[in-house]
Amino acid sequence: MAKEHHYIDFDEYIRQGEPSQREAAYAWSTAIGLQAVDGLTTSEYLNDLARRNIEGELTMDQVDTLLDSYYESKTAREAHDDDKNEADKASRNIKKILSVKTVDFTANGFISLHRRIFEGVFKHAGQLRDYDITKKEWVLEGDTVNYLNWEDLRRALDYDIKQEREFSYKGLAPDDLITHIASFVSGLWQIHAFGEGNTRTTAVFTIQYLRSIGFDVENDLFAKHSWYFRNALVRANYKNAVKGIDYSPIYLERFFRNLLLGEQWDLRNRYLHVHPTEEWSVQPNLAEPKSSGQTPEQVPEQVPEQVHDLLHTNNPLVIELIKVLGHEELSISQLMEKTGLKHRPNFIEYHLNPAISEGFVRLLYSDTPRHPRQKYLLTAKGILLYKEIMAQP
């Protein structure tokens, strides 16, 4: 009898599920998708546990118990058992981490994150490597990135994260913002602080950090394109003067342009090869119409999805709310009083919800939306826009 395959349609939950289901599906899809960066796939057993957790049948504590019992009770070893064990437990751990909207943005926090992801998986979880490494890469035709020597790992982590913590995004154009974020993430990954699990740790840390400064990164890009993300990091950190190859951060920047600006670059790995075939030599933006030999007047007008400026909004009602909120923490009734509005449903639909969905406003008690003392305040992104608005003559 054929073994049932427990396929999870994460997109279905994310599009049509209840809020709790959407949040769980996003975290699970990202956690499971990230295993591809090391060529791993999760077991059907873990996939079924994830589905039951999304549907509310199992709590995460129950998932923990069942998954650990599953591997402890296995008597017959199967091919790739170790790989499945690593993928399952790392996915479980990442899901729990992504379900909490906090980040310890320090070198200690980064190291601790590795421990939390690979607890029960690697004996060296949360330990900096004490040896130098090289890795043969397909996109580099077997060559390797020059990773940082092991003696300088902690110093480099401290420096990079401190520099980013002190960096101001105020007044940055979207292109410059993307370039800066890609540069920070690329540099953090190039340190390669651990013996294994560097890309997964960097990805989760990046998601946490971007959330903490006000960006909405709850989509499936890391889940569906984790292997591209890793290869883009490789290309951003590879230079070979003899072969005429320079650092190429453009591929990583295009990943972040899709993630943060809503652009539609075709994120397939063959574009990243150092010597791509002619067919894969130009990475297209799928939002742009393909050339058909027609004159501009003959090409039908195509309207891609709106690409919004990360730090701005075209919605005057959102701008009004940002100006009213400022540096305060206010309840809905206080916000309505300040804006002079009387109809609560309209205020929530046309002012508050768009400001939250665009990442400018957040809930004080984010884990308890109906908290009796709920208040609203600006995110880091909202504060940046507020300061820019108030600085205008």
Same domain, 3 and 90: yes
Phi and psi torsions of 377, nearest 5°: -145, 165
The overall average pLDDT reported for the chain is 87
Same domain, 214 and 177: yes
CA distance 161 to 363: 27
Same domain, 116 and 245: yes
Domain boundary, last residue among 311, 336, 358: 311
Domain boundary, last residue among 47, 70, 100: 100
Which pLDDT band holds residue 7 (cuts at 50, 70, 90)? Answer: low
Same domain, 166 and 254: yes
Which pLDDT band holds residue 32 (cuts at 50, 70, 90)? Answer: very high
Average of pLDDT values for 336-345? 88
Give the CATH number, domain containing residue 241.
1.10.3290.10
Stated length of the chain: 393
Give the DSSP letter string of 120-188.
TT-TTTT---SS------GGGTT----PPPGGGHHHHHHHHHHHHHT---TT--HHHHHHHHHHHHHHH
- Indicate yes or no: pTM above 0.85: no
Query: Whose CA is closest to 262, among 280, 281, 284, 285?
Result: 285
Determine the pLDDT at residue 130.
97
Question: Of all residues in the chain, what percent carry a pLDDT higher than 90?
Answer: 61
Q: Are β-strands 361-363 and 376-378 bridged in parallel, bridged antiparallel, or unpaired?
A: antiparallel
Same domain, 64 and 134: no
User: What residues are paired with 377 via a beta bridge?
Assistant: 362
Give yes or no for a contact between 346 and 317, defined as CB atoms under 8 angstroms apart.
no
Average of pLDDT values for 150-162? 97
User: What residues are paired with 361 via a beta bridge?
Assistant: 378
Same domain, 168 and 286: yes
Domain boundary, last residue among 266, 289, 311: 311
Same domain, 361 and 262: no
Phi and psi torsions of 378, nearest 5°: -75, 145
Q: What is the DSSP letter of 373?
A: T
Higher per-residue confidence, 13 vs 26: 26
Give yes or no for a contact between 71 and 261, defined as CB atoms under 8 angstroms apart.
no
Q: What amino acid occupies position 110?
A: F
Which pLDDT band holds residue 101 (cuts at 50, 70, 90)? Answer: confident
Which pLDDT band holds residue 230 (cuts at 50, 70, 90)? Answer: very high
Same domain, 284 and 386: no
Same domain, 119 and 232: yes
Determine the pLDDT at residue 341.
87
Structural domain harbouring 287: 105-311
Determine the pLDDT at residue 309.
53
pLDDT at 209 over 70: yes
Average of pLDDT values for 362-368? 80
Same domain, 16 and 53: yes
Give the CATH number, domain containing residue 343.
1.10.10.10
Give the pLDDT confidence of 175-203 residue by residue, as tens digits.
Answer: 999 999 999 999 999 999 999 999 999 99
Q: What's the total number of domains in the chain?
A: 3
Same domain, 240 and 118: yes
Same domain, 36 and 117: no
CA distance 152 to 304: 46
